[in-house]
């Protein structure tokens, strides 16, 4: 989940000192590396996630996107009708155009020097489609979901394009040094069970299978892959059989239910409510302990159920991370 970012004072200081915007930092490998490492300097984390954004894929397809303080995500145009797909650069070479991400990954992997594994990531096709049609802020009309009903064929053309580019992008990230990959379908829940089956799941599956296949074709060992389909409870069993090694859970799913549904062949990640980082220390610790007891310490990655909110006190993130280590050691000692 988002571990770098606005809740860390050093992130704000770095941004102000260099007087740079979000995407300028993402596009400068030395800066992206530095920000990736910021949370690791503060907390005893077991993994790093490269500082970047899922929106770099729509950018290389030709959509100008900026993130402006106080205004959020700004697109220079949105997709309104199928003909707008012609505006996209279908032949974009993502590994070349996103060489800065690859360079940031390689630099960070070297700098980490084995301290912990480095996650690469990408957005899922449906979540990217949703942003490309609805934009960054809440659209008053469900325009992206309307596309699925009014332009089903064009929707699939777009999802296929995003899928193809994402596979190349993830393969490139592994070649550059990413040791585990996470695919974020942050907008999965709003699809509902039927639309998820048709417009998200097939593309998620394709990404897992084709990424692994392409890596093997180039003699690169595939890495574990994680799928995070936020609010898609209805699809837990499908997600467990979708070619991913880990299913990441938001905080609205009961750990015991998730384990029962997915079985033992996949690992789980999650799922502490990010708002518990606002709770008093005792409550946070009790909830962490209870979460670990329910998931167990094997085939499980302790994490939040979504990103850290921007007004969270970093000391509470430390309490979370330390509590995970403390209680999992306790559980391991008695089992």
Piece in contact with ligand CP3 (CB under 6 A), picked from 44-52, 95-103, 151-159, 289-297: 44-52
Using the rule CB under 6 A, is 51 a contact of ligand CP3?
yes
Q: Evaluate the omega torsion of the peptide bond into residue 271 and state whether it is cis, within 30 degrees of 0.
A: yes
Rank residues 69 and 213 by Cβ distance to ligand CP3 and give the closer one: 69
Q: How many residues bind ligand CP3 (CB under 6 A)?
A: 19
Rank residues 49 and 118 by Cβ distance to ligand CP3 and give the closer one: 49
Contact 270, 304 (CB under 8 A): yes
78-86 CB contacts, 8 Å cutoff, 24+ apart: 78/132, 78/133, 78/134, 78/135, 79/132, 79/133, 79/147, 79/158, 80/133, 80/143, 81/151, 82/151, 82/153, 82/154, 82/157, 85/154, 85/157, 85/158, 85/161
CA 306 to chain centre: 9
Using the rule CB under 6 A, is 49 a contact of ligand CP3?
yes
Rank residues 55 and 246 by Cβ distance to ligand CP3 and give the closer one: 55
- Min dist. Cβ of residue 300 to ligand CP3 (A): 20
Piece in contact with ligand CP3 (CB under 6 A), picked from 53-61, 166-174, 281-289, 314-322: 53-61
Q: Determine which residue in the list 34, 53, 134, 168 makes contact with ligand CP3, applying CB under 6 A.
A: 53
Non-local (6+) Cβ contacts of 8 within 8 A are 38, 39, 42, 314
Quick note: the x/- pattern for ligand CP3 over 227-266, rule CB under 6 A, is ----------------------------------------
Piece in contact with ligand CP3 (CB under 6 A), picked from 51-59, 89-97, 213-221, 245-253: 51-59
CA distance 62 to 235: 32
CA distance 282 to 133: 43
- Min dist. Cβ of residue 3 to ligand CP3 (A): 4
Run of H or E including 30: helix 29-42
What is the CB neighbour count within 10 angstroms for residue 223? 19
Contact 129, 120 (CB under 8 A): no
- The two structure tokens encoding residue 37: 């490492």
- Binding positions for ligand CP3, 74-133, rule CB under 6 A: 121
Query: Looking up tokens 């549904």, which residue turns up?
Result: 261
Using the rule CB under 6 A, is 22 a contact of ligand CP3?
yes
Rank residues 255 and 305 by Cβ distance to ligand CP3 and give the closer one: 305
- Min dist. Cβ of residue 322 to ligand CP3 (A): 19
Q: Determine which residue in the list 126, 147, 184, 327 makes contact with ligand CP3, applying CB under 6 A.
A: 184
Q: Determine which residue in the list 20, 47, 73, 78 makes contact with ligand CP3, applying CB under 6 A.
A: 73
Question: Which residues sit at the interface with ligand CP3, rule CB under 6 A?
Answer: 2-6, 22, 49, 51-55, 67, 72-73, 121, 184, 186, 307
């Amino acid at each position: 989940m988002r571990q770098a970012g606005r809740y860390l004072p050093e992130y704000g200081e770095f941004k102000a000192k260099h007087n740079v915007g979000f995407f300028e930092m993402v596009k400068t490998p030395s800066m992206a590396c530095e920000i990736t490492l910021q949370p690791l300097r503060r907390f005893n984390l077991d993994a790093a996630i490269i500082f970047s954004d899922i929106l770099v894929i729509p950018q290389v397809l030709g959509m100008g996107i900026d993130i402006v303080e106080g205004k959020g995500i700004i697109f220079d145009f949105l997709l309104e009708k199928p003909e707008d797909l012609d505006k996209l650069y279908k032949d974009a070479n993502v590994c070349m155009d996103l060489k800065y991400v690859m360079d940031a990954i390689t630099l960070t992997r070297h700098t980490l020097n084995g301290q912990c594994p480095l996650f690469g990531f990408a957005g899922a096709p449906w979540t990217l489609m949703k942003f490309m049609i609805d934009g960054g802020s809440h659209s008053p009309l469900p325009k992206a979901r309307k596309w699925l009903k009014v332009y089903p064929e064009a929707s699939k053309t777009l999802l296929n394009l995003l899928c193809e580019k994402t596979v190349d992008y993830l393969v490139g990230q592994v070649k550059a040094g990413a040791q585990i990959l996470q695919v974020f379908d942050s907008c999965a829940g709003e699809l509902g069970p039927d639309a998820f089956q048709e417009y998200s799941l097939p593309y998620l599956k394709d990404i897992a299978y084709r990424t692994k296949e392409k890596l093997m074709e180039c003699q690169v060992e595939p890495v574990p892959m994680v799928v995070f389909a936020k609010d898609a409870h209805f699809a837990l069993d499908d997600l467990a059989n979708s070619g991913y090694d880990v299913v990441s859970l938001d905080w609205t799913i009961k750990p015991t239910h998730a384990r029962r549904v997915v079985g033992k062949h996949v690992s789980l990640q999650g799922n502490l409510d990010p708002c518990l980082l606002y709770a008093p220390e005792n409550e946070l610790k009790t909830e962490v302990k209870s979460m670990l007891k329910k998931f167990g310490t094997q085939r499980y990655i302790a994490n939040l159920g979504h990103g850290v909110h921007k007004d969270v006190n970093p000391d509470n993130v430390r309490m979370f991370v330390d509590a995970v280590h403390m209680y999992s050691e306790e559980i391991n000692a008695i089992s």
